[in-house]
Chain A
């Protein structure tokens, strides 16, 4: 086995997740990000590289900009364990990122 010597980030490494089947490497997200946290992949057509993950402020602009629905915003673990939902009738607790996720409950925003 071999590996690389790399520094550890002081915050989350994964703030965005790209769906490789949907991402076409158009880099619209790269140019939309107000913090400029991504760079285009040197290989054209592939997903961008998040270089400055710890500068992301989780606004979701990149997600909204993506015409292919290829990007998911990932809450840091610290936040995933803070926002707790509790089903009223059963008392069952659940959260974002748990091992066995609840089924989604997709409701539209008002106006859309």
Chain B
């Protein structure tokens, strides 16, 4: 029942159902601490445990369903070593780097290419369906009859697989439980501990508060894996307003980035802006479109007139099969939902999936087609229709219940009914990311891009013993499949580190100071709640780190954050531990915001690839700024470095990616 109903029915406000003990300490000692219990964190935990470590997972939510991948997945990138694939890990890594013009993570992509298929096979072993075992799709263009694998995006190169992943998180969670891994749900980790409390020194633990009890958790570890989510909440917080995005709930506060920033880790690409902004959005996957999960969904106009698909070079396609082929026979389709932006000017189109007629905007303006547009599945063959609707849409994250079952209940029949697309300006009808469900937001809405921890071939951060996993905390990271694969890899690395190193000592002064700060809102009886503070920080980010970036504006942004931290930040209140954890996350935004703004200050050039505009440095992607800028705190001061985008195959590393992999992968 709703809270209102309860109050009206009983005349009482419900008491907080859990015993509250603000600040009561728990100390947990473990070889490997996993921060974040999403798909990356759970895979890291399983892998560390399999490699002999004792493991504790601290999850902000509840690990059975939590995280961006907690509600399922419909296709799996990076299975390039599956028996049907014609792509090699080297091609896969090189193409990801090429499409992002270097602003990607070549070593991580190679690791994913090497281990993505094995990582998926483990899920099959644990009970997730990855093949058409029931022979529902015999005769489909997407199917290989021998292996029963089903392909997405590219039916010739066969490196990306359709999967039946609605239960993906639950099967991984069950395996973690079966292995006896300690999972601590409802813990908001807000600080990393380093040896002696020195920025940049070896990791030795983390601090957290409990969302239900308000109790204080001190984790001590030999190695840790950060496997947290993105930082979208710093740009806005109402799920109904921004549809929570396809991949980001309110627990995704970027706090995994923040704790590393405060602990002195080097972060890169934090200046990159997100693709879609925020705004008055739709429920993800709820509107007609032809991308990602909906790849190949036919579109018609208001009068039912079909709109053709086209190659990325504008050639209209007659054969439906060609929708799932590359636009350039010398290349392959990288696909959507892989965390690659395809922003390299011009030729990156070679690796993009097909889309609607690029002249659709023009043709709407001329009256040839009428809005609104609709997806029309009715003329597809039953096999093709089920491959989109019953397979992809029924298994993709946040689709089974909110879309598939809800639509069934409402009477939607894809064999008979059309699905309306977003009504928008004609110019944005082409290549619109309709599947994300995010409408065009206010121009200045702040949303983070693919910035994250600088990682090496071990997926270790620059803090010794601190490994990184998942699409968000690894710079240039990917999405669902990449999160599993990097989690599995980082867990193995962390276990190896824990075997070779003993516990290091934290600084008790640091623990005391951090604890006092976290519990400020409990003690100071202020009048500002977590939402008000969150919105205020989002306002600063939009105003001072949005599209209008100049040195002066960015500096003022830092000033505003510092100002709020010592004024509004000291006048907060919370009603219960749930609100305390939300408020602790708000506090972290002061540091995260600083990191984003400092990163924007450090890049004194504009960049298309990074979706980054400096009004005072208008030159776009000049060669001398075509590099990563590692940013960190050292003794409280911001230090900006310079790093070749292709560093992972230069200097100490071999140009041959395979020899780097073999050297560092901790293979069994």
Q: Which residues in A have some Cβ–Cβ distance to B below 8 Å?
A: 3-4, 6, 10-14, 18, 31-36, 39-42, 47-61, 63-65, 73, 75-76, 78-79, 82-89, 94-97, 101-111
A49 to B397, CA, bound (A): 26
- Interface mask (B184-206 → A, CB under 8 Å = 1, otherwise 0): 01100000000000000000000
Cβ–Cβ contact A34 & B249, under 8 A: yes
Q: Among residues 408 to 438 in chain B, which have CB atoms less than 8 Å away from a CB atom of chain A?
A: 408-413, 416-420
- Most B CB atoms within 10 A — which of A11, A78, A86? A86
Cβ–Cβ contact A11 & B411, under 8 A: no
List chain A residues, Cβ under 8 A from B578. Answer: 36, 52
Q: Among residues 437 to 455 in chain B, which have CB atoms less than 8 Å away from a CB atom of chain A?
A: none
Q: Among residues 373 to 417 in chain B, which have CB atoms less than 8 Å away from a CB atom of chain A?
A: 374, 376, 378, 386, 390-391, 394-395, 397-398, 400-402, 404-413, 416-417
Cβ–Cβ contact B1 & A58, under 8 A: no
List chain B residues, Cβ under 8 A from A12. Answer: 240
A110 to B394, CA, bound (A): 7
Cβ–Cβ contact B400 & A83, under 8 A: no
- Most B CB atoms within 10 A — which of A36, A40, A75, A103? A36
Query: Assuming A39-B17, A111-B134, what are 4 further A-B pairs, CB within 8 angstroms?
Result: A32-B65, A34-B62, A34-B67, A49-B6
A106 to B407, CA, bound (A): 9
List chain A residues, Cβ under 8 A from B136. Answer: 110-111
Q: Which residues in B have some Cβ–Cβ distance to A below 8 Å?
A: 1-4, 6-8, 11, 14-17, 60-62, 64-67, 70-71, 129, 133-134, 136-137, 164, 166, 185-186, 211-212, 238-241, 243-244, 249-251, 282-283, 286-287, 304, 374, 376, 378, 386, 390-391, 394-395, 397-398, 400-402, 404-413, 416-420, 531, 578
In the assembled complex, the CB of B255 is this many whole angstroms from the nearest CB of chain A, namely: 15
List chain A residues, Cβ under 8 A from B374. Answer: 86
Partner of B1, one of A50, A94, A95, A97: A50
A42 to B9, CA, bound (A): 13
A36 to B213, CA, bound (A): 13
- Most A CB atoms within 10 A — which of B16, B185, B418? B418
Cβ–Cβ contact B65 & A34, under 8 A: yes
Cβ–Cβ contact A4 & B61, under 8 A: no
List chain A residues, Cβ under 8 A from B418. Answer: 85-88
- Most B CB atoms within 10 A — which of A54, A75, A85, A102? A85
A12 to B408, CA, bound (A): 23
Known: A13-B2, A88-B376. A55 touches B250 (CB 8 A): yes
